Amino acid sequence: MQEKGSNRVIAGRNDEANQRKQRKNDIDILDCFGLRPRNDGGSSLRGGTTKQSREKNREFMIQMEYYLIISTLMFFIGIYGFITRKNMIAILISLELVLNAVEINFAVFNRYLYPEQMEGMFFALFGIAITAAETTVALAIIINAYRAIGNIEIKNLSRMKG
């Protein structure tokens, strides 16, 4: 019986060693993605909310202005397309560009102004859901207009009047 008890202790040591080895492997995997746990009291992910980590990662972060430039370009391209296009699907795509630009702004301002909070990300996800629903309804309307008129040009929509 003494041997069984000692085997359990040895097995227990092996389990602890295996667990330590597994934690080391997990940390190595996390390090591949830049998510190694930190020991400085900050958040558990690299690039957390402490001032020191923000300063350390500032040189690797993409500047906020670059995101805003892309978002502004998307917004104005969408507005231009919405005003100038005659096809309903092209207008819908232009509207999607505008809404995606707004969602990028939500995420960017949340990340750079309040990195420890998630409200901007939730607004962006909510906006994506609303955009998906809006696209579904718009495509249903476009399909019905095509069935009634035979094309999807805006100038021909007046034919649908009673």
- What values do phi and psi take at 45, rounded to 5? -115, 150
Residue 162's pLDDT is what?
Answer: 62
| Burial of residue 34, with CB atoms counted within 10 A of its CB: 0-12 exposed, 13-18 middle, 19 or more buried | exposed
Residue 27's pLDDT is what?
Answer: 55
Residue 15's pLDDT is what?
Answer: 74
CB 140, CB 147: distance < 8 Å? no
- What values do phi and psi take at 148, rounded to 5? -80, -40
Q: What is the mean pLDDT of each run of 10 residues along the chain (162 residues)?
A: 49 66 57 51 49 62 89 97 95 96 93 88 93 96 91 84 68
Residue 13's pLDDT is what?
Answer: 59
Which residues, other chains included, contact 94 with Cβ-Cβ below 8 Å and sequence gap of 6+? 77, 78, 79, 80, 81, 82, 85
Where do the domains of the chain lie, and which CATH numbers do they carry? 2-58 (no CATH), 64-160 (1.10.287.3510)
Cα first-last separation, the chain: 95
CA distance 15 to 21: 10
